[in-house]
Amino acid sequence: MKVCKYLYQFLTKILAVTASACLQAPRRNYVILTLFLCLNFINATPAVAANLSSDLLKQPATEITVSLGNAANELKFEPNHLELLAGKRYDLRLTNPSQLKHYFTAKDFADGIWTQKVEAGKVEIKGAIHEIELKPGGEAEWVFVPLKSGIYGLRCPIAGHTEAGMIGNIVISSN
């Protein structure tokens, strides 16, 4: 990591010097800032991932079950309100006990979390997930760590379902 730091400092200097030499004064600062931000971004992303894998992802997960619809085919999430803490690890178990297909769609929420995996049947999916479709009798497990606090909307976008009340919200708080 030390080597990385020196290399990073060296590259920053080279870029700053090159930019100063090539450009007129008014635009110089802007370009240096842009290059600096780019380097920072490249530098910071692996660090965030490394921290997540070493600490946050080793915590025992809190299990939460959300039912999409119910045996009476009512169009609702049960529960329809979730409260989560940023930095904790969760195992969200989604079930669909109804005879209808449903979605768990919460795109802004999905952008504010780190997804470790989604498991469905014998398949495990890694990486960003934005919505999950559950066929009748379907089950899935979403393991993640919330990162960004906020109040996020949840809905099932199948025609008529949102309108009938198949909506909810997910609150991520920092404490």
Task: List residues binding Cu ion (CB under 5 A).
Answer: 102, 156, 158, 161, 166
Nearer to Cu ion, 112 or 168 (CB): 168
Say if CB 149 and CB 86 are below 8 A apart: yes
Angle formed at CA 92 by CA 58 and CA 77, multiple of 5 degrees: 165
By CB neighbour count within 10 A (0-12 exposed, 13-18 middle, 19+ buried), where does 92 fall?
buried
Nearer to Cu ion, 105 or 116 (CB): 105
Nearer to Cu ion, 108 or 131 (CB): 131
Say if CB 61 and CB 44 are below 8 A apart: no
Instruction: Report the alpha-carbon distance of residue 123 to residue 107 in Å, rounded.
Output: 22
Nearer to Cu ion, 166 or 172 (CB): 166
We find the least distance from the C-beta atom of residue 133 to Cu ion, in angstroms, to be 9
We find the least distance from the C-beta atom of residue 70 to Cu ion, in angstroms, to be 11
Q: Which residues contact 82 (CB under 8 A, 6 or more apart)?
A: 64, 66, 154, 168, 169, 170, 171
We find the least distance from the C-beta atom of residue 96 to Cu ion, in angstroms, to be 9
We find the least distance from the C-beta atom of residue 74 to Cu ion, in angstroms, to be 10
Nearest in space to 98 (alpha carbons), one of 60, 124, 147, 136: 136
Nearer to Cu ion, 56 or 158 (CB): 158
Minimal CB distance residue for Cu ion: 156
Instruction: Report the alpha-carbon distance of residue 9 to residue 4 in Å, rounded.
Output: 9
We find the least distance from the C-beta atom of residue 164 to Cu ion, in angstroms, to be 8
